[in-house]
Amino acid sequence: MKIFLERYRIEKDLSLSELSRMSGVAVSHIHNIEAGNKAPTGPIMCKLSKALRVPCWDLFVCED
């Protein structure tokens, strides 16, 4: 599964700090999710999707 968090963050012209402030998720945590170093939990993805104003499922893509 691939997570498209960075794509939506950049489309919305947000820095990591801005998304962190809007979502309440630490900058380092967002960076690690975007880099693929950390798998996000459901509640964290809900916070991020609300801040980005996109449905949570739009942040995920299943790869075969």
**Tens of pLDDT, residues 22-60:** 999 999 999 999 998 998 899 999 999 999 999 988 887
Contact between 30 and 20 (Cβ < 8 Å) = yes
Going by C-alpha positions, the residue among 19, 12, 44 that lies closest to residue 60 is 44
Mean pLDDT, range 9-16, rounded to an integer: 95
pTM for this model (two decimals): 0.86
- Tell me the CATH number for domain 2-53: 1.10.260.40
Q: What is the residue extent of each domain of the chain?
A: 2-53
Amino acid symbol at 32: N
> Distance from first CA to last CA of the chain, Å, rounded?
9
